[in-house]
Amino acid sequence: MPGPNFLDKKLSRHFRTYDTDQNGVIEKADFDQAAQRMGKEFGHKPNSPQQRQLNEQLTRLWEVLAEIADTDHDGRITEDEYKNAFRTKVITSPETFDKLYRPFIQALINVVDSDKDGKVDQQEHVRWYRALMNIPEKDSMEAFSRLDEDGDGYLTREEILKSVRDFYFNDDPTAPGNMLLGPI
What string of DSSP letters covers the chain? ---HHHHHHHHHHHHHHH-TT-SSEE-HHHHHHHHHHHHHHTT--TTSHHHHHHHHHHHHHHHHHHHHH-TT-SS-EEHHHHHHHIIIIITT-HHHHHHHHHHHHHHHHHHH-TT-SSEEEHHHHHHHHHHHH---HHHHHHHHHHH-TT-SSEEEHHHHHHHHHHHHH---TTSGGGGTTS--
**Which of 99-113, 141-155, 167-181 has the weakest average pLDDT?**
99-113
| Mean pLDDT of the residues in the chain | 89
Question: Across residues 27-54, what is the average pLDDT?
Answer: 90
pLDDT band of residue 3 (cuts 50, 70, 90) is low
Q: Is the pLDDT of residue 4 over 80?
A: no
Per-residue pLDDT band for 2 (boundaries 50, 70, 90) equals low
- Predicted local distance difference test score (pLDDT) of residue 103: 82
* Res 81: pLDDT: 96
Global confidence as pTM: 0.86
pLDDT at 76 over 60: yes
Q: Give yes or no for residue 51 having a pLDDT over 70.
A: yes
